[in-house]
Structures are given as structure tokens and as C-alpha cells.
Structure 1
């Protein structure tokens, strides 16, 4: 087997994974706050509130998998796409709320879990 070019690669990757893990509670707070802003908007949230929710979910979707939080990233991507649909069509908001709440509950238990239920 060939020796790695950078012998410290795994140690640095583990450190980055730990750093990402430390940001998860704050990220969940951002998702929670964005959802609250959306819900406060009534039946259909404002575009600004929806953009905020979309942005935070998009950030998780784009980075979580890189740091070993595959399912968290996948589910965030799925819900991000639901929010994008609401932004585009101005319909379909109602099912988004329970999906975000489920994600928040699940991730608060173990955002690195390999099963989503």
C-alpha cells in the first residue's frame, strides 16, 4: 500500500469533523429561529423568512456530509428543496413545518446518526 502524501491528513480531518460537530447546536438554533420567523408569517411566510430558512438548510446540506454527518446533510437537502419549491411556487408551505421540526428533533438527539427516523 502506498504511503499517504500527507501523514497528518487523518488527524486534520478528524479535527475538522470535531469542529463541525461543535457547530451543530448553533446551527440547530439558526434553523429553529428561521422556522420561527417563517411560522410567525402566517399561512405563507415572507420571502425573506423563507430565504433565511433555505440558506441555513443549504449550508448544512452542502457541508454536513463532508464532515461525517451524511444523513443530516441529506435530510437538510431534501427539506431545502421543499423550501425552494415554496419560494418558487408560493405553495406547499404546510408540509415543510413538520419536516423541519422532525429534523430539529432528530439532529438534537444525534446529528451524526446513520438512520433518520
Structure 2
């Protein structure tokens, strides 16, 4: 027997999408703060930030990567995943931090313009 279509499904999904969209500015602030913590540590030493600072950045990017696509922010989620993987590599090896900060800054600037855009530039 076929399952009846829930007539309210699309309305509920749209409401969830709107709710996610409302959280994007706060999420960008969390990414910005996590990046600032990493950069503050990195400026003096010239090496990778502490595991704690990297973990904080990884965690917020991981959250975006895991949920953004579900709510209509596919490219935002994909780019967050790509950068999350860069951070994970630094967490594992302690090396490769230099290209991460510019990539996070680019993501922040792009998402501030339109986090729902279908093109990443």
C-alpha cells in the first residue's frame, strides 16, 4: 500500500529552511571567532594553532558541512566540508595551516554576500 503524501511536508520543510537561514549570521560569527582564535595563536609562533583552537574551528565547519545542504545551502555546505577536511589534516599532522586561514576568510566573505548562492567565487 502506498504511503499517503503529507500535505504539510513542504510547508514544514520551508519553515525549517527559513529557520536555518536565520542561524547563518550567528554561524558565520562562530566561524569568525574560531578563526580569530587560531590566527591569534599562529601569528606569534608561525606554526599551526593549538589542537583546542583547531578543534573549535573544525567543529563549527563540521556542523555547517553536515546540515547546510539539507536546508538548501548546498554550496555553503560543500565548501565548509572542503575546508573542514583541510583543518582535519592540520589536526592530524600539525602541518599545513598556512592555506587554511585564507580559505576560511574567503568562505566567510562569500557566505556574508549570499550563503545560499549556487556558485562559489
Q: TM-score range by the shorter chain?
A: over 0.9
Three-state SS of the structure 2 residue aligned to 1:64 is: helix
Distance 1:97 1:59 in 2: 18
User: Distance in 1 between the 2:28 and 2:54 partners?
Assistant: 16
What is the root-mean-square deviation of aligned Cα atoms in Å? 1.2
What corresponds to 1:27 in structure 2? 27
* Deviation of the 1:21 alpha carbon: 0.1
In the alignment, structure 1 segments of 5+ residues that lack a partner are none
CA distance in 2: counterparts of 1:15 and 1:70, whole angstroms: 17
1:59 aligns with 2:60: no
1:5 positional shift = 2.0
Structure 2: which 5+ residue stretches go unaligned? none
The runs of at least 4 aligned residues of structure 1 exceeding 4 Å deviation read: none
**Aligned-pair distance for 1:24?**
0.1
User: Structure 2: how far apart are the matches of 1:60 and 1:4?
Assistant: 32
TM-aligned CA deviation for residue 82 of structure 1: 0.1
Q: Any idea what SS the aligned residue of 2:96 has?
A: coil
User: After superposition, where does 1:2-17 map in structure 2 within 5 Å?
Assistant: 5-17=5-17
How many equivalent pairs are there?
116
2:105 alignment counterpart:
101
